Structure 1
Amino acid sequence: MKIGLIHATTTAVNPIVKAFQEESTPVELLHFMDTGLLPMIEESGSLTPEIIRRFSLLVNLAVQSSVDCIQLSCSAFNNVTKILQPLYPMKLFRSDEAVLDEALAYERIGLISTVKETPIALMSYLKEKNPKVSVESLVEPGLIHFLMKGNKELHDRRVREMVHQLKGKVDVIVLSQYSMEHIAAQVQSTVPLLTAPRASAKRCLSYLRTLTSI
Structure 2
Amino acid sequence: MKVALIHATTTALKPIEKAFQKAAPEIELLHFMDTNLLSMMERSGGLTPEIIRRFSALVNLAAESEANCIQLTCSAFNNITSILQPMHAVKLFRSDEAMLDEALAYERIGLISTVKETPVALMSYLREKKPDCNIESLVDPGIIHLLFKGRNDEHDERVRNMIQQMDGIVDVIILSQYSMDHIAHQVQTSVPILTAPQATVNRCISYLRKAQAPCSGPTGIRRV
User: Which TM-score band applies after superposition, normalised by the shorter structure?
Assistant: over 0.9
Question: Which residue pairs with 1:38 in the alignment?
Answer: 38
TM-score, reference length from structure 2: 0.94
- 2:86 aligned partner: 86
Q: Which runs of 5+ in 2 are unaligned?
A: 214-224
Q: Distance in 2 between the 1:84 and 1:148 partners?
A: 29
Deviations 1:125-167 (CA, angstroms, capped at 9, x unpaired)? 0000001100000001100000111000110000000000012
Q: Aligned in 2, Cα 1:137/1:184: closer, same or farther, shift over 3 Å? A: same
8 Å CA contact retained: 2:167, 2:173: no
Quote how far apart the aligned CAs of 1:25 are: 4.8
Deviation of 1:24 (Å): 3.1
SS state of the match for residue 30, structure 2? strand
Equivalent position of 1:101 in the other structure:
101
In the other structure, the counterpart of 1:151 is: 151
Cα distance, 1:64 vs. partner? Answer: 1.0
Amino acid at match of 2:24: S
> 2:205 and 2:32 mapped to 1: Cα distance?
19
CA RMSD of aligned residues (A): 0.7
Using CA pairs under 8 Å that are at least 6 residues apart, name the structure with larger relative contact order, 1 or 2. 1
TM score, norm. by length of structure 1:
0.98
Identity within the alignment, %: 69
Mapped to 1, the partners of 2:200 and 2:76 lie a distance apart of 15
Q: 1:204, CA displacement in angstroms?
A: 0.6
Q: Which amino acid aligns with 1:195?
A: T
Matched, 1:135 2:129: no
Structure 1 residues 111-122: aligned runs within 5 Å:
111-122=111-122
Give the AA of the match of 2:26: P
> Could you tell me which residue of structure 2 aligns to residue 162 of structure 1?
162
For the residue of structure 1 that corresponds to 2:110, the secondary structure is: strand
**Dislocated runs of 4+, deviation >3 Å:** none
Aligned length: 213
Q: What CA deviation, in whole Å up to 9, does each residue of 1:155-183 have, x standing for no partner?
A: 00000000000121100000000000010
